[in-house]
Structure 1
Amino acid sequence: MPPVGGFDAVKYKRNLPFRGPGGLVILGGVTAVCAYGFYQLGRGNLEKRELVRERTWSRIHLVPLLLAEGDRDTYRREQAALEREKEIMKDVKGWEPGKSVYHSARYRGVDSIVVL
């Protein structure tokens, strides 16, 4: 015989846990995150463009200074080379420092000397 008060109720309903937010909420969240990301990307592009412009203008303004510095360095090196040449060739008669050594009678044959 059944117990007093009857049997317990049979649990036949599905007991599913909460599965998270709905599809529209997820779609709205993804849209918001993407919009914020594109906003940040646009701000980053503006900043990068400004940095490139600043770098370009700084190079434009520095080029004359760097060219002048290079010219001074080249002149200083040429003068030092002439001084070294004077010191090394001081015992050679008729030697002119800085003048080309290939335009002299020494390196021309007798036939190639033309007298005008």
Structure 2
Amino acid sequence: MSAPAPQQELPRPGGFPEIRYKRYVPKIGPSGLVLFSGITLMCTLGLIRVGQGNLERRELEREKVWSRIHLIPMLQAEADRDTYRRELAAKEREAEIMKDVKGWKAGESVYNSDRYTTKSYVVVP
């Protein structure tokens, strides 16, 4: 006995329907070129603004430095007046406290030099 011959499967009459293997995504939004151009424009404008901000910040810093340079003499004069007033008040307090001690000279330097030295401590009244 012989085996029957194999029967081959064939497509149905009219064929099989087409297989959809592509994505059919509708075109929504701007194209890639438009997006790339927009991002490039935004980055360029941002860098320009950063550069302008750096220039303005540098100018403000220069102005602040020059204003401090011009204020230093006035502030130094004010500090000198304050120091003189405090030393005068300290000398008067010292004279009042030591008035009963014979030979005491108020305000006399404790150093063996004629050179002026500022006080290294703050006297709080």
* TM-score, reference length from structure 1: 0.72
- After superposition, residues 41-60 of structure 1 pair within 5 angstroms as 41-60=50-69
Residue 77 (1) aligns with residue 81 (2): no
How many residue pairs get aligned? The number is 93
Aligned to 1:96: 105
Higher helix share: 1
- After superposition, residues 12-27 of structure 1 pair within 5 angstroms as 15-27=24-36
Question: 1:93 is paired with a residue of what secondary structure?
Answer: coil
Structure 1 residues 73, 24: closer, same or farther in 2, change over 3 A?
same
Structure 1 residues 26, 102: closer, same or farther in 2, change over 3 A?
closer
Structure 1 residues 31, 101: closer, same or farther in 2, change over 3 A?
closer
Q: Which runs of 5+ in 1 are unaligned?
A: 1-11, 104-116
When the two chains are superposed, the root-mean-square deviation of aligned CA atoms in Å is 2.0
Task: After superposition, give the CA deviation of every residue in 1:67-101 in whole Å (9 maximum; x if it has no partner).
Answer: 01001100100000000000000011111001245
Query: 1:78, 1:40 → 2: CA distance?
Result: 55
Aligned to 1:65: 74
Query: 1:101, 1:39 → 2: CA distance?
Result: 65
Seq. identity, %:
63
Q: Which runs of 5+ in 2 are unaligned?
A: 1-19, 113-125
Residue 34 (1) aligns with residue 43 (2): yes
* TM-score, reference length from structure 2: 0.67
